[in-house]
Structure 1
């Protein structure tokens, strides 16, 4: 299996969405999120109380799985299976924690996705597990879940004090007289409701404090600082620039090869045929006519090749009628049958559509030339995160590899330049699958 990917920029806003307000637009999203608001404090208290109930059980299961894995390493299969399961249990906890916090505070956290290795075979499986085990984003989310669980257990205790304080405050209404503070100090007369009110107010304040602390700690752990965001943007920009340069180089090489190996020899042949016909016009008019007819046919073939070459550089139908129509025209010209499934509620930016068109065109060309496929399936979707996703799958022999300057290398570089991710899966025996995800506004 061959896999290539790059980190995309943050998902863009769909064209139909309202523009963000200008105020504070230069600040990171987390800096504009209000942690201290009545609704979010109430939500945080509810979250903490729930985590105080289920969190200890979840963490206990994690430590139990770790102990089982380490203790049973002598029984290799059982111990290793338990440790691998532990890695993905931690991933599930991290995924839940990020979704929970994003829903509570609206931090704009991307959904945590499993890590994948670019290496093929069993070594790739082991490398994938190792990458997942050391994923810093996963461990930050697990740390946030652990801290939230501790705060949740504390919140449950504070809720108990709040209920006790409220009950003691209203105790004179029900004629309660046997009241003790912490079971030690008896309270008589007016002291009982006063102490109860004090405990009730202090417990509410502690509850609010725990909720605010939870929001601040969670944001500090999971939301990168402004400097880290700028570094990530610079790294993504460098990656996209390198991909664009490489894609342009590969495309230029392809054009030169097509011209040198295809159109140029045909034009030279046309010139020689016409020259030969010129020498025979007087002596053998019939032979001259035949040579002119041959040159005319070759000229039409050369024009067709030039049109195909120009279409590979720029598909005018893509600008005029959109990606769906352009892919339909592409499928109609394919040498193998193509099943198209394109569902796009609205058009994306031209760079995104052009990149997806190039990916599909190159994948179909490779399938026709090398895979001995009898059919291809193409799926194109616009996902909820405003990502243009495409998948091409053939039923060929598989075994495709990324070679510098080759078609698959061009796909990876073109997708990288558009700020997206590409995945190429081609085991021996097939099928070959090419997937690309590109931000719609890239």
Structure 2
């Protein structure tokens, strides 16, 4: 449950909620609809779902408003005694329950998926602990505020929506049933105005046709009006019944901290493995070879010299492996000369020609500089191994308070962050420092990867 809540909060903070929400009536051409969006609007399921949401909002809001006002007033009045505390806690707990029902109603009728607020922090079981957690929770008070604010808005939206909807369909269908008035009511048509001296009826063909046209106008515009009303409802649900920005940010930072810890541990294991399997094994072999050469130095000087020569070659290989390992931890050229020279060095080792363009007014903080370097290094490694490209390019520049990196190649494409590849790990590392990784790689290419990092200058 904690993992799911964390993922929902991360999506909320990144502004990704509502992707499943339908995109409105006015879709572009090519959707396969014969009628324009404005003519389809009164008959589309979404319009009726939203109208149903507005209709249900009135009785629901009356129930919620009555509960909140009654229970909170009773609890506040009894605070002079201990009884008021559990009553107030029960009032807030009920508001949290109503908030869950409202999120479900918005999800079912408005297709608005809002994450649940942060759970209660109950450190140990017990009635007093639970009451304290409910009273201290900001989400509880936001849910209670929703029950108070939603009531007047529900009355307004219900009145407007029902008035426009009923007026539109009444006038639109009037040419079909206007005959009811002269036959059964005893008047020539629908009365628009009347007093003791003058009356106006819709009773001639022109007026009947004009009423039908007015009804058509109301019918076509009412769904859009209802959509505007439910948009406000969505803002209320998201703002008061969902997680707060602060709690979402806390969850985001907790998750990022876990990613940073896991990444650091993985890097340490990689360094240990490279040392054990590479330089350490080579140095052990070197020590054994030098020991044998020492034993044969007096008996067979030629063999000892050959073994020393072989050991000398092993020393060179061990030094090269240690240099490669140090470069993998943090390259000296990056520290000494910055991103331009470091990325040019990485590009020179790529199996395809790479054009590097670094346009930075100053150097960023060493941590950001290091992340940028390893991001480009890993992307170029992917190009060498998987892309089958003939050329690639790396562009680095600053835009306001962000450091932007773009890596492009003309390879076969098909790269996808969601398939658990190295790109997924890279995206997680960037996300841990408030960065973003965007991959545009259609099958057949070309591939463009954009990495965005926060700009921080050296202290």
TM tier, shorter chain?
0.3 to 0.5
- Give the structure, 1 or 2, with the largest relative contact order (CA under 8 Å, sep 6 or more): 1
TM-score (norm 1): 0.47
TM-score (norm 2): 0.46
